[in-house]
Amino acid sequence: MPECVVCKGYYEAGQRCKRCGSDNSAWEQWKREMEALGTPWAMVHFLAPHFWLPLLIAIWALVFGLLGMFWFWSGVKAYVLWLAIAFTFLGCIFAAQSAYGNRYALREQELLARVQRGWKKSLGPGMQATLAPGVAVALTVILSIVLVESATLWGLMAWLVLEPPSTASIMEVTPLEEGIPGEDLPLEEKVTRALPLMCLIGYVLVPVAFARASSYMLAQEYAGRLNERLPQPIFLREDLLAEVVQREATHAVGRSPGNWTWDHIERNDSGGIRLKALEKTGTRTEESLTGDKVERPVYTTYVIEADPWSRITKVAPEEPEGEK
């Protein structure tokens, strides 16, 4: 059965959702249009607003990496270069494919950020797209500094990544020129000898980060087109959210809708909802100031919590203040 785009409940195709009453005809029409395009052309349609930038970054990374093998990375072992080129090229492709595959989930995350609080609100797809290149550049700088300053790391990387010098070269250079780990080289020489590896680190991290950022921005644009045609999710419609939660909560505990009096409503940090309901559970006799016996109702307060899609996560009597 298809899933409702508003509340994620299941509904019969061509009919309104029985859970929230929403019309999913626009959602069904959109899916038919994407299926008619086919997966390759649907992805091309997804990437088109940025002129297929993630794919262009992947092609640039491939060409740049192949040129680097015969230029400034000539001293790096061949298998390391092939792994770096493959990782960077495939990483860019994967970033685009991942954003396309999760385009509907990314739309939901972006909309959900409007009603969330705390760190979840600030880490939506838009912020992730903004942070990715900065994090990649910062990580490149940090690793480069560690590579320059740490003799142990330089020795390990030189052994694993760099081609060993020829016998003739070893006989011709002095210990200072060899760059033996632990020697006291000037900073300029340390940077010069580590520059190929620093560039290799940046080559692996930065293009993938920019491809990821571009793909997330494309997902945002795709979400904008969806928002123009589809109904809003239930967590953006507080009246509908409360209505569905109230109905399902009473069903969950076997009460009729008229047994509970709804007393309190608030949104939680995750974008869900928290309700309180009063239920009359009996009476108690009290004596008034004049000595008359008065019957007063006794109420139990229930706390109901639900996630942003109106799915019940808790229905329980509220604990008295002294017992919390």
Domain extent, residue 273, equals 238-323
For range 153-181, the mean pLDDT: 60
Contact partners, residue 21, CB within 8 Å, separation at least 6 = none
Whether residue 208 is found in the same domain as residue 73: yes
Sorting pLDDT into bands at 50, 70 and 90, what band is 298?
confident
Q: Which helix (H) or strand (E) holds 298?
A: strand 293-306
Instruction: Assess if residue 9 is contained within a domain.
Output: no
Answering whether pTM is above 0.95, one says: no
What is the helix (H) or strand (E) element at residue 281, kind and residue range?
Answer: strand 273-287
User: Do 74 and 173 have their domain in common?
Assistant: yes
Residue 137: pLDDT band with limits 50, 70, 90: very high
Do 192 and 242 fall into the same domain? no
Q: In terms of domains, do 124 and 191 share one?
A: yes
Q: Are residues 163 and 253 in the same domain?
A: no
- Specify whether 79 is located in the same domain as 184: yes
Cα 282 from chain centroid (whole Å): 49
**Among the three residues 196, 230, 264, which one is the final residue of a domain in this structure?**
230
In a domain, 40, yes or no: yes
How far is the CA of 55 from the CAs of 64, 89, 98, in angstroms? 14, 9, 13
Is residue 276 domain-shared with residue 176, that is, in the same domain?
no
Would the pLDDT of 170 be above 50?
A: no
Alpha helices in the chain (DSSP H): 25-37, 39-47, 53-69, 78-101, 103-112, 119-122, 125-149, 151-161, 167-172, 175-178, 187-229, 238-252
Average of per-residue pLDDT across 305-313: 93
In a domain, 31, yes or no: yes
pLDDT band at 269 (very low <50, low <70, confident <90, very high): confident
On whether residue 198 sits in a domain, the answer given is: yes
Domains: count for the chain: 2
Q: What is the predicted pLDDT for the residue at 140?
A: 94
Query: For residue 11, is it within any domain?
Result: no
Q: Please check whether residue 145 is in contact with residue 139, taking contact to mean a CB–CB distance below 8 angstroms.
A: no
Whether residues 226 and 293 share a domain: the answer is no
> Which residue, of 213, 230, 247, is where some domain finishes?
230
- pLDDT reading at 173 higher than 70: no
Smallest CA-to-CA distance from 78 within 202, 200, 205 is with 200
- pLDDT at 174 > cutoff 60: no
Copy the structure tokens of residue 124.
């939506």
Q: Using the 3D structure, point to which of 166, 200, 230 is the last residue of a domain.
A: 230
Evaluate whether 190 touches 151 at the Cβ level (below 8 Å). Answer: no
Predicted local confidence at residue 33, as pLDDT: 86
> What CA–CA distance (Å, rounded) separates 230 from 244?
20
User: Does 118 or 196 have the greater pLDDT score?
Assistant: 196
Question: What tens digit of pLDDT does each residue of 34-68 get?
Answer: 888 777 788 888 888 878 899 999 999 999 999 88
Same domain, 226 and 244: no
Residues 205 and 245 in one domain: no
Whether 192 and 273 share a structural domain: no
Cβ atoms of 30 and 183 within 8 Å: the answer is: no
Q: What is the pLDDT of residues 176-230, one digit of tens each?
A: 344 444 456 777 777 887 888 888 999 999 999 999 999 999 999 999 999 999 9
Residue 33 lies in a domain: yes
Is 178 within the bounds of a domain?
yes
Of 3, 5, 6, nearest to 235 by C-alpha is 6
299 domain residue, yes or no: yes
Q: And the tokens for 136?
A: 């990649």
Q: Do residues 122 and 148 both lie within one domain? A: yes
pLDDT of 257 reads 64
Range 277-307 burial, b when 16+ CB lie within 10 A, else e? bbbeeeeeeeeeeeeeeeeeeeeeebbbbbb
How far apart (Å, rounded) are the C-alpha atoms in residues 119 and 269?
9
